[in-house]
Structure 1
Amino acid sequence: MTVYYYLFDVQAIGDHDVTALPLRRRKSLLRPLLTWSDPLRLTAYRYRDGETYYRDACAHGWEGLIAKRVDSSYQHGRSRDWLKFKCERRQELVIGGWTDPRRTRPGLGALLLGYFSDGDLVYAGKVGTGFDTRTLEALARQLTELRTPTCPFTRGAPPTGSGVNWARPELVAEIAFTEWTAEGRLRHPRFLGLRRDKPAREVVREEP
């Protein structure tokens, strides 16, 4: 398998620091350093029609685009001169419960999700897509071990009644979604997987 490494910027050429130069100039310096016979490739970019490029990127299944001011210097860390536009937002959320499956669906119906804010677990919605059979069954086993009679959500309005089960808020899921609604709910959420590396108490709402 051939592996290519795509470059989109340059910080130094030889011993010469070019981070203070504007982006347009840095790209013009980077381009002649790369050839199509080299495993190092230049990432495609445009100076205009950004909205069209973004729509095309999303239609092709890309994660999104990064937009940079053409006159900006190279800046370490985050900057208002460099903006990320995701086709699909992602957010870690805590699993605080689940619903029973319907008909022939195995394991569970949907996960009840939330995030922490000032010590409260805020209900953010439920997700019922993105699972295969093995994942549904594995999640059902894990959540059964975390079952609790008390609703862990202290803000928001999670569903209640028959078919709703509560869990100690210990598991963290990564969720893809299109946007937050005005009511603070996830729109079109999709389960991507569990995050074993992130403590539940560190999960907060990342975007307004």
Structure 2
Amino acid sequence: MDGDLPALVHGKSRELLPGGDDSVGVLLVGALDVLVVDDGVLRCAGRVGTGFSDAELESLRSRLERIERKTPPTGDVPRADRREVRWATPKVVGEVRHSGRTREGRLRQPVWRGLRLDKSPDDVRWE
């Protein structure tokens, strides 16, 4: 992991799978749609829109372009979050800090911490 990760006073760390970004028509990623495996099913865990450096945004966009797909990788992405998203097959792992989960299972106040190149997508599960 990168040594210059953003600090967060409260919260928990969570590994997630980037499954899309809303950079369609813009230069860099604005927010990532993130996914996690819950009881053996791939589920939407929300969106992460902060904590990225410019270099990280450029790297993420490049990685996601290489694994782009036409449809969301899971069916439970809210309709409002489906607009102008470039979807990606969940093949890379990232880490976020967050302050908990909503009743719907979405992350509260997620902040991007960085890619986890030492982790496999098969390792990403809700605990």
TM value normalised by structure 1:
0.53
**Other-structure match for 2:37:** 116
RMSD: 2.1
| Cα distance, 1:197 vs structure 2 | 1.3
Residue pair 2:8, 2:97 contacting (<8 A) in 1 also: no
| Cα distance, 1:102 vs structure 2 | 8.0
Equivalents in 2 of 1:192, 1:204: separation in Å? 17
Q: Residue 170 of structure 1 is aligned with which of 85, 91, 101?
A: 91
Change (3 A) 1:102 1:192: farther
Amino-acid identity (%): 36
Unmatched 5+ stretches in structure 2: 1-6
1:127 aligned to 2:45?
Answer: no
**Other-structure match for 1:200:** 121
Residue pair 1:99, 1:165 contacting (<8 A) in 2 also: yes
| Cα distance, 1:120 vs structure 2 | 2.1
Unmatched 5+ stretches in structure 1: 1-60, 64-86
1:160 aligned to 2:82?
Answer: yes
Shift >3 Å, 4+ stretches = none
Equivalents in 2 of 1:141, 1:200: separation in Å? 18
Equivalents in 2 of 1:121, 1:62: separation in Å? 27
1:91 aligned to 2:9?
Answer: no
SS of equivalent residue, structure 2 residue 64: helix
1:44-193 equivalences under 5 Å are 87-100=10-23, 106-157=27-78, 159-161=81-83, 163-193=84-114
Question: Which structure has more RCO (C-alpha within 8 Å, separation ≥ 6)?
Answer: 2
Aligned residues: 120
Residue pair 1:120, 1:154 contacting (<8 A) in 2 also: no
| Greater Cα radius of gyration, structure 1 or 2 | 1
TM value normalised by structure 2:
0.84
Residue pair 1:116, 1:202 contacting (<8 A) in 2 also: no
| Cα distance, 1:101 vs structure 2 | 6.7
